[in-house]
Chains A and B, each alone.
Chain A
Amino acid sequence: MPWGGALLASILQNTLNALQWGSFYSLIALGYCLVYGVLLLINFAHGDVYMVGAYIAFFVATFLLASGGLPGWVVLAVTVPITMVLTAAVGVTLERVAYRPLRRKGAHRLYVVVTALMCGIILENGNLALLGAASRAFPELVTTTVFSLGDVKLTNLKVAVIVVAIGSFLILETIVSRTKIGMAMRALSYDRFALPLMGIPPDTVIVFTFVLGSSFAALAGLLFAMSYPVLDPYMGAMVGWKAFIAAVVGGIGEIRGAFAGGFLLGFVEIMVAAFLPSTFRDLIAFTILLFILWMKPTGLFGVARFQKI
């Protein structure tokens, strides 16, 4: 094969790889972004909510597979909503137990952020204590089929991940900009004191925000578990941090920004690993992100203002 063709195939293949990898960052970054947009709270437990989502998906899927002779795709179709609901419940519980009492007492945001960090560590270690350190294998629900387009290989899973990420972005964007509750979220972000005066209960809006963020983290966890089927309690920590950085680079508080930031980070990571030694990956990826922030401190899509969504 001519050198040019091989290079092109390799670039195309890695673009697909990057789209898949970036999808996870995007889905998680969306959750950071929603909560930050509404509460100005960096919910550091979000990466671990995503981990919990992956584990819930694991237990739901294994339970369904074991209990009835359902075909894989039915199990998947049932697992998705159950996982999203249960993980949303975890996210809302965190809000109820950890963040809301502090908010009520008028604690500074810094304390809430530290609380979020601790919640993340509690989730990780709670999982470790409950389920042990052994990794778990996610069952194969849908047979992975490999399609070849010339030298470029696609799998049904890869396509599904990318489609779900883009779909989630469109849904969230619509909810926030076109619906009443979305309008309430934006209103809360602009002026949290004026909102109750207008007869809108802020707590409902906040709970809804956590439901949205956590259920999309659950979706990310489920897809991740299907693509990289070994689960461990610390799987959310690093991915969560990186997704947070992606959200900041995209312009935290902007849904478009989180989405683009996630894909940008995925793209840079894969391309660096593809064409340079992998040890340079994080070094170069984060140097690029630092450079972007240096040029535009509000992030790619961020607008400099006091509060935003």
Chain B
Amino acid sequence: MKRYAWLIPVLLLALIGFGPPLAAAEDVIKIGFNIELTGDIPDVGEASKNAAEYLKNQINNAGGFDVGGKKYKLQFIYEDNEAKAESAVSAAQKLITQDEVLAIVGPQASKQAVPAGEAANNLETPMISPWSTNPNTTKDRPYVFRGCFLDPFQGPVVAKFVTEEFKAKKAAVLYDIASDYPKGLAEFFKAAFEQMHGAGSIVAFETFTTKDKDFSAQLTKIVASGAEILFVPQYYNEVPMIIKQAKQLGWTKPIMGADAWAGGDLMGLCGDDCKGHFFPAHYSNVGAKGETKQFIDNYTELYKKTPDDVAALTYDAIGVVLAAIKQAGLTGKVKKDRTAIMEAMGKLKDYPGITGTMTFKPDGDPIKCAVVVKINNEGKFEFYKSVCP
């Protein structure tokens, strides 16, 4: 093989020489995508790219994106981070230093978003992760934003929803005390519910430990407590057992879940028992209205696939970046523009996204409404109500 070693530099030169000419920087807005195109979660990367391409084509076909009276074409650069933390950092660095993008959308998963956020913040480039729920992604990083609500936010949303919808004054909680996600949600729900209905309104606050299969003792207490709703912030594989056992012990009232209910094959495991219960989600693709429905219909037609929450949140994240660009204006100096975009994004008010209206805080986390989803009689997660904290 050594004989052909001289070919490598020749080929490289050829690539540089005959590669696609760089587009003129003047009338183009470059946005980088640091997404999981390969690796553990390629579905996530694919959904992100689909949503981005859809939005780009929509705007470019209409003549471009208008900033300060001038039309710009959108140019999206997709970098694969292989669902790895190290690759996410190098992808971010490449997008910022080599491709000179104005802002980065992604990575989606917290595992990649946390380290990539560090890189973007150090290089002073705005980054928005559509899907990452880990608080550390945006913590102490003025340049990093996210497009979804944080886990604890669901606690107050559920408390508000059950108060309005079921006029509940007494609530019960059953959660896994050995796992961070349910424990956090249970505590935030308790705090919010007790703030509305006074101390003692959580009549049963029952716990179990990861991998438990029998909840009969806890559920016996919950059924006897006179609670009007039961909050179960558990993962989709534990929920069926809890709901079935609750039913067998005589629980007939509504059960509320958390967004992790949607995380897997809940209906396959649970069957009819889960129907009629509710949980908060980022977005629902059944029963949507207005612009959300339009997005779902167009996306489904284009890709033969209903858009999941990643696609919808990515669509919104790009929209947020563009709205910030529009507000900040463009000078053509990349470094200055990036900072201006970051400042505009931190002050963005009432951005009408398809996953809910968002208002950003300078700390990077949006205040947005959650969608409460009802599991309907076909076992589909249907849009029921939008609840704002």
Contacts and interface: CB of A to CB of B under 8 A. Distances in A.
Given A21-B216, A153-B249, A274 B237 contact: no
Q: Which of A144, A153, A277, A281 has the most CB of B within 10 A?
A: A153
Interface string B261-281: 000110011110000000000
A229 B273 CA distance: 12
Contacts of B244: 144, 229
A235 B207 contact: no
Contact of B224 (A10, A270, A273): A10
A134 interface: yes
Contacts of A155: 248
A138 to B, nearest CB: 9
Nearest to B248: A155
A47 to B, nearest CB: 13
A235 B212 CA distance: 10
Interface in B223-241: 223-224, 237-238, 240-241
A6 B224 CA distance: 8
Interface in B293-313: none
Interface string A265-297: 000001101100111011000000000000000
A13 interface: yes
A274 B206 CA distance: 9
Interface in B49-63: none
A239 B212 CA distance: 10
B289 interface: no
A9 B209 CA distance: 25
A134 B265 contact: yes
A282 to B, nearest CB: 8
A140 B270 CA distance: 10
B211 interface: yes
Interface in A114-173: 134-137, 140, 144, 146, 148, 151, 153, 155, 157-158
B248 A273 contact: no
B250 interface: yes
Given A9-B224, A137-B269, A140-B271, A279 B216 contact: no
Contacts of B253: none
Contacts of A228: 213-214, 241, 245
Nearest to A224: B213
B249 A278 contact: no
B207 A278 contact: yes
A238 B214 CA distance: 13
B269 to A, nearest CB: 4
A186 to B, nearest CB: 35
Contacts of A279: 177, 207, 209
B218 interface: yes
A137 B249 CA distance: 20
Given A10-B221, A134-B265, A229-B240, A17 B216 contact: yes
Nearest to A21: B214
A189 interface: no
A20 interface: yes
Contacts of A307: none
A158 to B, nearest CB: 7
Contacts of B248: 144, 146, 153, 155, 157-158
A194 interface: no
Nearest to A138: B269
Nearest to B220: A13
B7 interface: no
A140 B212 CA distance: 21
B186 to A, nearest CB: 13
Nearest to A278: B207
Contacts of A277: 207
A150 to B, nearest CB: 11
A298 interface: no
A14 interface: yes
A134 to B, nearest CB: 7
A117 to B, nearest CB: 19
A176 B91 CA distance: 69
Given A13-B249, A153-B250, A229 B221 contact: no
B217 A17 contact: yes
Interface in B184-230: 206-209, 211-214, 216-218, 220-221, 223-224
A129 B241 CA distance: 25
B211 A238 contact: yes
Nearest to A145: B248
B131 to A, nearest CB: 22
Contacts of B167: none
B385 interface: no
B347 interface: no
19 contacts: A10-B221, A17-B217, A20-B216, A135-B237, A136-B269, A137-B269, A146-B248, A151-B224, A153-B223, A153-B250, A155-B248, A157-B248, A228-B214, A229-B269, A270-B216, A278-B212, A278-B218, A279-B207, A282-B209
Across chains A and B, which 3 residue pairs bring their CB atoms closest together, nearest first? A17-B216, A274-B217, A273-B217
Interface of A: 6, 9-10, 13-14, 17, 20-21, 134-137, 140, 144, 146, 148, 151, 153, 155, 157-158, 224, 228-230, 232, 234-235, 238-239, 270-271, 273-274, 277-279, 281-282
Given A13-B220, A229-B240, 5 more contacts: A153-B223, A228-B241, A229-B241, A239-B213, A278-B217
